[in-house]
A = this chain, B = another copy of it.
Amino acid sequence: MNEKKGLVVVLSGFSGAGKGTIMKHLMSTYPGAYHLSISATTRPMRTGERDGREYFFKTREEFDRMIEEGAFLEYATFNGNSYGTPREYVSKLTAEGKDVILEIEVQGALQVRNIFPDALLLFVTPPSAAELKKRLVARGTETDEVISQRLSISVGESELMDKYDYLVVNDRLEDAVRHVHAIIQSEHAATRRNAELINDIHKQLEEFRKEQI
């Protein structure tokens, strides 16, 4: 609200909790309000993808050099492909006053918090674990093994939920989307993010008082 600098917002959540859908609707419901971080990846570009839109496509050598240079806020490897959030891209956007949203998993989220202690961490969850299980199973396409594996990951994630600032309980989609928006907007008004405004008001009031005396 009064903050010139944009926020780094991290959105994580259980698989099946609806992160992606929330993100999509957040972007379309509040056009221009938020910017998505674009990750770098070593995975090959697919048909229809464009460099700098879906991902920044990098060779393994380029990616490893970026790691060495500390160019990533966080990175991780899945199935042999590496994915990372370029620090410079995020810093550039926030410096322009833009709120940047990073959709990343819990370990990455904690890495981001180490680099940006002021990052806002949101965790998306269904209203209950029973509902989470139902959603995982309802996808229909997964084997018991995959579901079991996902449950294991979810257990680990649930142990880190309290490292996040806010829960987003995804019961009704439109409520969850509105809620994410409200949390981010409110966060701009946190006093710790407005030290400059507070200081300005204080100094100006002091001056007015002197004029009156």
Contact = CB atoms under 8 A, between A and B. Distances in A.
Chain A binding surface, main DSSP class? helix
A33 to B, nearest CB: 14
A51 B197 CA distance: 41
Most chain B Cβ neighbours within 10 Å, of A130, A168, A202: A202
Interface residues of A, number: 53
A166 B186 contact: yes
Contact of A129 (B144, B154, B161, B201): B201
B167 A129 contact: no
A138 interface: no
Nearest to A168: B189
- As for how many copies of this chain the complex holds, the number is 2
B209 A191 contact: no
A113 to B, nearest CB: 13
A194 B133 CA distance: 20
B169 A213 contact: no
A89 to B, nearest CB: 27
A155 B185 contact: no
A173 interface: no
A115 interface: no
A41 interface: no
Interface stretch (A20-28, A53-61, A75-83, A145-153): A145-153
A202 B165 contact: no
Contacts of A162: 191-192, 195, 198
Contacts of A148: 209, 212-213
14 contacts: A1-B167, A2-B169, A123-B191, A125-B201, A129-B202, A129-B203, A129-B205, A133-B208, A148-B213, A151-B212, A154-B205, A155-B209, A161-B202, A167-B191
